[in-house]
Chains A and B, each alone.
Chain A
Amino acid sequence: MRKHILFYIVLAVCMIFSCIEVDAQAQNITVTGTVVEKATNKILPGVNIYMGSKGLIQTDYKGKFTVNVPANATLTFTFVGFVTEKVKLEPGQKNITVTMTEDKKGLNEVVIVAYQNRNKESTPGASVTITAKDIQDVPTSNVESLLQGKVAGLNVQNNTGAPGFRGSVQVRGLSTLSVSGSGSESFLQPTSPLYIIDGVPLDADKAAEFGFQTQGPGVSPLSLIPVEDIQSIQVMKDAQATSMYGSRGAYGVIIITTKRGNSKVPRVRYTGNFFVNATPQLRATLGGNSERQAKIQQILSNATIIDELRRLGQTGFLADSLNAYWNNSTNWQSIFYGTTHNQSHNVALDGGNDRFNYKANMGYYSEKGVIKNTGFDRYNLNMNMEFKPNDKFRFFGSLFGSLGSQAKGNGVGLLQQGVATNGQASTLLPPPSFYLSPDGVTSALQTQNSNSTRNIRTNVDGRYEFIPGLALSSSISYDYTSDAESTFTPAAANAQFAQMYDYEGRSFTLYNRNALTYAKTFGSDHTIFVNTFNEIYKQGGQSGIIRQSRIPNDQLQGPVGSDSYNSRGGGVLSNYKNATIASFAGSFNYDYKKKYVLELSYRLDGTSSNGLENPYSKNPAAGFRWNYYKENWFKDWDWLTSGGLRLTWGQNIVPTGSLQSIYGLYNLNGNFNNNPTIGINYEFVPNPSLKPTTTTQYNLGFDMTLLQGKVDLTFDTYYKKVDNLLFDRFLPNSTGFQKKSSNDVSIADYGYELMVTVRPITGKDFNWTVSFNGAINRDYLLRLPSEYNGQYIKFDYNNYQHIVFRVGKNTLSNYLLVNQGVYSNDADVPVDPVTGKKYQTSGLAFKGGDPRFKDVNGDYILDDRDYEITGNSQPLITGGVSTNINYKNFGLNVYATYTAKRTILNNALSDRLSIMKDPYALLAAVPLDDLDIWRKPGDQSKYPNPYSFSRFNQIRPLRSDQSLWQEEGSYLKINTVTLSYMFDKKFVRRFGFNNVRVYFSTNNLITFSGYNGPNPENVTSLGRDISSGYPVPRTYNLGLNIELNTSK
């Protein structure tokens, strides 16, 4: 794989190749030359030239260099991402041309393992690196969304279009069955990987404690990182790679490295994006009179009793068509949704070489959401500096400051309930105007919501090598975030009283890591590497809200808190945190001739939230790697460039309990003898022996690179077992307590991951790369507490879409009524042979046009005894395909992702059909021509008759707890198509530019799917399509990269 080598590995490479004796006798000569790239014959500026280990010079912007060296010297040319070239000067040679080839040996990549840069060839863990090139050219508020489909086994679902929010991310399948909330808003606890940005861990789930009901700004910390500043992203999947990151690495580790300065002359680069977010396809509605006619028709043809016909005349908006108030055709959705124009700008300044370099990145990103009154703005200033005066000492410092500002309108960000409800209003109602505006509209459009997250993160990192091989490094970082939200709802939107809401929160992480490493090669064959470090986190955070439910008028927006009755909320929210984590870790790596590699590691995490009896969680891991291509058998196979076989095992242990579950919850229970008493809360019995969740993972991997990188292949298979998941057990009432937090749940995931890159054409003017990756992941529930006898149903009394856990089956299944079609005629309804009664529900027999529910227990009555386990809300197959074509100055990149075999509950469709359930309601009428619905006796259809309003509440043909809404959620999405053009360098240099590149890109271009709802990706992590969710817009972007010509 064509990967950029991180800059400081240059040093290591130099050391390897630097053991060349310099002939002191030789006479110095001046040599000039040019360095060009082999494939494209382009000049390469900034190439480092060494003689031995002594750095000489870099090539200038024309790729030229001049050095004064001994006549028979050997020059070494190194450049990031290229194979190091060594040239021995021939006698009398004054002018040389050096051609460098891109380094396509995937195994020569540098990976970061346990905060140390390591050669990929000598690490057994499963990790994938993607570079800046793979994620450029698409403006997005959250870098995570660009990782979709890039790494096999990293399942990213961009399931919200809300700017600044995150989708869901899972590494290697399901790791939890903790579901909170109810109905469509059921929320699977996110198990996001641990993000490490420039060596500093970051909690990506920070804004997600409250599920969909986000408190505070809800800006994901990842939304604060400008994409333009990212150099590379490394995704670590198996436990051997992640166990050194301790409990926080249990769900995978993603390491983001920001750009470093690397240019002799200071470089100024600008990236600008101008993009349009287009409203996705909205629900079609009938407008004006056709809505009225449709409803009248529905009543006339479906009424069963005379009163229903009489009511038609009493319903003003249907009967009184001449009334101006009810004689409109308002497109309500267009009032809430709209296309927006957005921009982002980023200026990067960098300079220096591997001895000293610096970088500053300033960014501005502004995106207005397709739902009006929502959006996200980001401002950031990002700086780092690295000083490495010699190979013994290195110092790195960075400062990262950002401000994310978000507007959520009157929704909670991920959900826009108000907009969803008001978008369904009858088109016959008058549109909002100066004199008239319904509450809902005012609320959605006039609510002033301002919330911002301010984050500052600093990091200093030093490394000193006492003796060759033995180095001490230390890193300290401080991360401070301040969150504020302020919402003002005007009186007109809130039953004549204005309302204020304020949220104030802050959190910090102080982090220190000290590492001692020792690397030594014995003889020429045996190499060891020892890495030990300790980590200390000090984390804290507190937030609170205040809500003034009635304030005197719209002009007075503060101070709040005027009287005790209307002042609601307040206090500290439950996300209060004051935690300390101390960890010790060590690893030992041995390799023989770089052919056989063995790595053993162990880590201890002590946290304040573990049970008393398990204060430390232990994370052992072992890995073995065999670089088979180095074996003599393959010596003649020169088309086999590299290859390795990896086998690893490891454990990650995560404390699960809260202090409450370990020690119990104690309340003030009134007075006794005039003294306040404190007693235990009898809901949960304290469980001091609560065990931490243990993730054990085995990984078998196979790497192969053929024909100097023309074909790259990586295959991994794994088995992951998550034990001791937290689960409540109900206690016999004789214990006095209701429940016990226990650890008796286990789930397992296993799967296969394949990544293939083929470069069929690598010519001077023409390059073509095709990459494919895919992952299959199956999850199974292994164990439940014994008294559940293998099944537990999480009943949902909101929309009755129950979730069932059954041992031996996929972990999250739905528990629904099974729909087997629609009764074509009345005569198709089965009859109970015993009683002679028709199949019925709620005392009403089914008729033609009603759904054909499976009578599971055979009593000819549909009730809650007829639920069956069905479906799997977690995707089985995920992956991506991309192709990259470069022809001369043109570039074309097409990249698609796919998800297959998952069950979606299409609640959006159910809601859409249900709009027709009550023709007397002031709701829009939707055309259902596109759906296969039952219209007349004899119809064989998929969907039941939605128009039969008088029996609707008994039969509930569109009830949400039926498998009719279960649809296959497979999709193939063309994420981006990017067309770029690089202007001729000579041409742009005339105007003072070094480089000018323009590109046109689209994001979320098109989704191919058999799914009937709006978007199979825009669903919750439990596979429910909420119609109040935030739609994912399609983005068209025009972008510009400019590099100023800052040299003479």
Chain B
Amino acid sequence: MEDQNINAIKKRKEMQTFIKMGSMALLFVAAALSSCKKMYGIPDEKDYLSSNVNYSNKVFEPILGRTSLMGGFNGDNSTQPLKFEIINARFGDGRPVTDLFQKRPTYVWTAPYNGLEKSLAEIEAKRKLEEHSLFEVRSSGEFIMWASSTNELIKPRPADSTNFAQDTRYFDVKITNTGGSTVIRDLQVRPFRERPYEPSDDFNIYSGLPAPHPKTPYNPASRNYIRPFLNGVIGQATDIPLQSNDDKKDVVVYIRPFTGGSGNSLRFKFLNKDSVEMNPALLNETAWDKIVHGFNMQKTATYVQYDVAYPIPLVEVSTVYAPGGTRDHAEFKYSRIGFGGTRAVASFGIDFAIYKKGDWEIVFHFLKDNPKFEDE
């Protein structure tokens, strides 16, 4: 009896050991097999790098002095993120290019600008200065020419508008992910010289010299001007609406630096046909707080001045100051009693942009005739 019991216990133990060992062995086999993805010859997963990656446009013509983002990369569904590197930058005659990659502090945005900021400090809190190469590529394959680039740091394209290879900067882009790497060759940068403000009709974009009048392009003595828009502005003497176009220039605009500002100033001035400042108070219907996103407005008898953050507009988004996003809309209005006793509202102004920090003034010059403020 005892023996049988012992036997039974022994058997049970034997069985338990067997089951234990068996399950261990099974687990081991399972583990061994599952870890042996290699054993089955299953290739490792790699990122996909298409053989068709390319740029739709390989010639980049940024304007210096303002931030330009230039795209055109077609990844053909290659696995992102891709690593982009600019390599082998050289002029067409083989000289290496280094000026593009100088590091300078430049503004980067950290929070969205929306046009509702109440002070310059609030605006400045949304951006900060960072060191960046003047010309960069980012993870989307887009190229950036930062606003810190100047004519002095990067020699612009020739003033005679030629495109010789020795004046053109070439570079290649190396694109890498775990699936491999590929090089896209012979992209070009041909930077335009700085245009500190827009509209920039008054100077030549290649040479920076005064631009001739479009109707007489070969007459170096003729000048072109920035032109304002005019709505119902009647000439005091002529009693006909003032115009500003290729044929008639009753009013022109100058965008120019002035001295004596805070370094962050923007001033509006209005000159009559005698080049004497008109009192901005005459523009009685103007919404002065919607002219530009500026602060500390100083309204004197000769000008209106704001403290502003440059560039203007800060960001290409629609705000009350820049409804289209790209240009600030400065509109000056006044009203008077027109014919038949109705109140007529006249306005003039300019859609402008200024990219360079400084003290700028925008001058409206009524060349031929003064605007009529008197009632009929």
30 example contacts (A-B, Cβ-Cβ < 8 A) are as follows A637-B11, A637-B15, A637-B18, A639-B15, A700-B29, A702-B26, A706-B15, A748-B40, A748-B42, A750-B33, A789-B50, A790-B46, A791-B48, A791-B50, A791-B77, A791-B79, A806-B48, A807-B45, A831-B112, A835-B67, A835-B109, A835-B315, A836-B315, A837-B112, A837-B315, A857-B81, A858-B80, A858-B139, A859-B71, A859-B142
Cα of A438 to Cα of B138 in the assembled complex, Å? 57
Q: Are B112 and A829 in contact (CB under 8 A)?
A: yes
How far apart are the CA atoms of A832 and B144 in the complex, in Å? 12
Q: Which residues of A contact B144 (CB under 8 A)?
A: 834
Q: Does B30 interact with chain A (Cβ within 8 Å)?
A: yes
Give the Cβ gap from A812 to chain B, nearest Cβ, in Å.
Answer: 14
A704-726: CB near B (< 8 Å → 1, else 0) gives 10100000000101010100000
Q: What mask results when residues 93 to 113 of chain A are scored 1 for a CB within 8 Å of chain B, else 0?
A: 000000000000000000000
Asked if B290 is at the interface (CB within 8 A of a chain A CB), the reply is no
- Which residue among A791, A793, A868 has the maximum number of chain B CB atoms within 10 Å of its CB? A791
Q: B64 near A: Cβ within 8 Å?
A: no
State whether the Cβ of B317 lies closer than 8 Å to any Cβ in chain A: yes
Contacts of B51 on A, CB cut-off 8 Å?
787, 789
8 Å CB contacts to A: which residues of B68-105? 69, 71, 75, 77, 79-82
Per-residue 0/1 for B108-125: is the Cβ within 8 Å of any A Cβ (1 yes, 0 no)?
111111000000000000
The yes or no answer to A869 lying at the interface (CB within 8 A) is yes
Is B336's CB within 8 Å of the partner chain A? no
Map CB proximity to B onto A263-298 as digits: 1 under 8 Å, 0 otherwise: 000000000000000000000000000000000000
B139 touching A857, Cβ below 8 Å:
yes
CB of A26 within 8 Å of the partner chain:
no
Instruction: Give A847 Cβ to nearest chain B Cβ, in Å.
Output: 11
User: Is B353 on the interface with A (CB-CB < 8 A)?
Assistant: no
Residues of B within 8 A of A806 (CB): 45, 48
Query: Contacts A637-B15, A859-B142 hold; do A780 and B42 have CB atoms under 8 A apart?
Result: yes
Contact B67 A793 (CB under 8 A): no
Taken together as a complex, chains A and B put the C-alpha atoms of A752 and B33 apart, in Å, by 9
Q: Is the CB of B110 within 8 A of A833?
A: yes
**Measured between C-beta atoms, what is the minimum distance from A925 to chain B in Å?**
33
Which residues of chain B are within 8 angstroms of A793 by Cβ–Cβ distance?
A: 77
Question: Using Cβ atoms and an 8 Å threshold, which residues of chain A touch B112?
Answer: 826-827, 829, 831, 836-838, 845
A865 at the interface (CB under 8 A from B): yes
Contacting pair B46 A836 (CB below 8 A): no
A790 touches B33 (CB 8 A): no
Give how many A-B residue pairs fall within 8 Å (CB-CB): 126
Q: What residues of A have a CB within 8 angstroms of the CB of B113 in the complex?
A: 836
Please give the residue numbers on chain A whose beta carbons come within 8 Å of chain B beta carbons, in ascending order. Answer: 637-640, 700, 702, 704, 706, 715, 717, 719, 721, 748, 750, 752, 780, 782, 787, 789-791, 793, 806-809, 815, 826-827, 829, 831-838, 845, 856-859, 865-869
Bound Cα distance A752, B108 (Å): 55
Q: Does B49 contact A (CB under 8 A)?
A: yes
Q: Knowing A706-B15, A717-B33, A807-B45 touch, does A834 contact B138 (C-beta < 8 A)?
A: yes
Known: A640-B18, A719-B40, A750-B33. A835 touches B46 (CB 8 A): no
Q: How far is the CA of A859 from the CA of B33 in the complex (A)?
A: 43
Closest to B14 in A: A637
A790-B48, A806-B48 known; A831-B142 Cβ under 8 A: no
B316 on the interface (CB 8 Å rule)? yes
Which residue of A639, A702, A791, A836 has the most chain B CB atoms within 10 A of its CB atom? A836
By the criterion CB–CB under 8 Å, are B48 and A831 in contact?
no
**Quick check: is B314 within 8 A (CB to CB) of the other chain?**
yes
Check B42 against A858 for contact (C-beta < 8 Å): no
Q: Which residues of A contact B338 (CB under 8 A)?
A: none
CB distance from B13 to the nearest CB of A (A): 11
Report if B324 contacts A (CB, 8 A): no
Contact present for B71 and A717 (CB under 8 Å): no
Residue with the highest number of chain B CB atoms closer than 10 Å, among A639, A721, A790, A867:
A790
Distance of B342 from chain A, by nearest CB (Å): 28
- Contact indicator B48/A834 (Cβ below 8 Å): no
Among A704, A787, A829, A865, contact of B75 (Cβ-Cβ < 8 Å) = A865
Q: Assuming the A-B contacts A833-B109, A836-B112, A865-B80, are A790 and B42 also in contact, with contact meaning beta carbons closer than 8 angstroms in the complex?
A: no
A870 to chain B, nearest CB (A): 12
Q: Which residues of B contact A789 (CB under 8 A)?
A: 48-51, 179
The answer to whether A858 and B40 touch across the interface, beta carbons within 8 angstroms, is no
B residues near A807, Cβ cutoff 8 Å: 43, 45-46
Q: In the complex the two chains form, what is the Cα distance from A837 to B314 in whole Å?
A: 10
Contact code string B140-157 (vs A, CB < 8 Å = 1, else 0) = 111010000000000000
The answer on a CB contact under 8 Å between B67 and A837 is no
Task: Tell me whether A750 and B40 are in contact in the complex, defined as CB-CB below 8 angstroms, given that A639-B11, A858-B138 are known contacts.
Answer: yes
- Return B231 CB to nearest CB of chain A, in Å: 26
How many angstroms between the C-alpha atoms of A780 and B41 in the bound complex?
Answer: 11
B311 to chain A, nearest CB (A): 10
Query: Could you tell me the distance between the alpha carbons of A702 and B109 in the complex, rounded to whole angstroms?
Result: 65
Task: Give the residues from 31 to 68 in chain B that come closer than 8 angstroms, CB to CB, to chain A.
Answer: 33-34, 37, 40-46, 48-51, 67
Which residues from chain B contact A834 at a C-beta distance below 8 Å? 67, 69, 108-109, 138, 144
CB-based closest 10 A-B pairs:
A859-B140, A836-B315, A808-B45, A791-B48, A833-B108, A836-B109, A858-B139, A856-B80, A857-B140, A808-B43
> Is the Cβ of B46 less than 8 Å from the Cβ of A832?
no
Q: Mark B231-258, 1 if CB is under 8 A from A, else 0.
A: 0000000000000000000000000000
Known: A721-B40, A787-B51, A857-B141. 12 other contacts (CB 8 A): A637-B15, A639-B14, A748-B40, A748-B41, A780-B42, A808-B44, A832-B109, A836-B112, A856-B80, A859-B71, A859-B140, A865-B80
Tell me which residues across on chain B come within 8 A of A808, comparing CB atoms.
42-46
B162 to chain A, nearest CB (A): 31
Q: Which residue of the partner chain B has the closest CB to A807?
A: B43
Chain B residues near A787 (CB-CB < 8 A)? 51
Across the interface, do A831 and B110 meet the contact criterion of CB distance under 8 Å?
yes
Question: Could you tell me the distance between the alpha carbons of A585 and B127 in the complex, rounded to whole angstroms?
Answer: 79
**How far in angstroms is the closest Cβ of chain A from B175?**
12
CA distance A750 to B46 in the complex (A): 20
Chain A residues closer than 8 Å to B43, beta-carbon distance: 782, 807-808
Q: Residue on A with the closest CB to B147? A: A834
Chain A residue at smallest Cβ distance from B67: A834
Instruction: Tell me whether A827 and B111 are in contact (CB under 8 A).
Output: yes
**When the two chains form their complex, are residues B79 and A869 in contact, meaning their CB atoms are under 8 A apart?**
yes
Question: What chain A residues lie within 8 Å of B29 (beta carbons)?
Answer: 700, 717
For the complex formed, measure the closest distance between the CB of A304 and the CB atoms of chain B, giving whole angstroms.
14
> Residue on A with the closest CB to B146?
A834
Contact B75 A835 (CB under 8 A): no
Instruction: Check A858 against B140 for contact (C-beta < 8 Å).
Output: yes
B45 touches A857 (CB 8 A): no
Assembly CA distance A706 to B14 (angstroms)? 13
Is the CB of B22 closer than 8 A to any CB of chain A?
yes
**Distance of A715 Cα from B49 Cα, bound (Å):** 41
Cross-chain contact B111 with A831 (CB below 8 angstroms): yes
Bound complex: CA of A835 vs CA of B111, how far in Å? 11
A253–B142 Cα distance when bound, in Å, is: 56
CB distance from B123 to the nearest CB of A (A): 11
Is A831 a contact of B109 with CB atoms below 8 Å?
A: yes
Q: Which listed residue (A637, A752, A867) contacts B30, Cβ 8 A? A: A752
Query: Which residues on the A side are within 8 Å of B80 (C-beta)?
Result: 856-858, 865-866, 868
Q: How far is the CA of A640 from the CA of B19 in the complex (A)?
A: 10
Q: Which residue of A lies closest to B144 (CB)?
A: A834
Expressed in whole angstroms, the Cα–Cα distance for A702 and B37 within the complex equals 21
Instruction: Report chain B residues within 8 Å CB of A836.
Output: 109, 112-113, 127, 314-317
Q: How far is the CA of A67 from the CA of B139 in the complex (A)?
A: 93
A854 — nearest CB in chain B belongs to which residue? B80
Measured CB to CB, the nearest residue on chain A to B48 is: A791
Contacts of B11 in A (CB 8 A): 637-639
Which residues does chain B contribute within 8 Å of A859, judged by CB atoms? 71, 138, 140, 142
What is the CA–CA distance of A857 and B71 in the complex, to the nearest angstrom?
A: 12
Contacts of B75 in A (CB 8 A): 857, 865
Inter-chain contacts of B317 with A (CB < 8 A): 836-838, 845
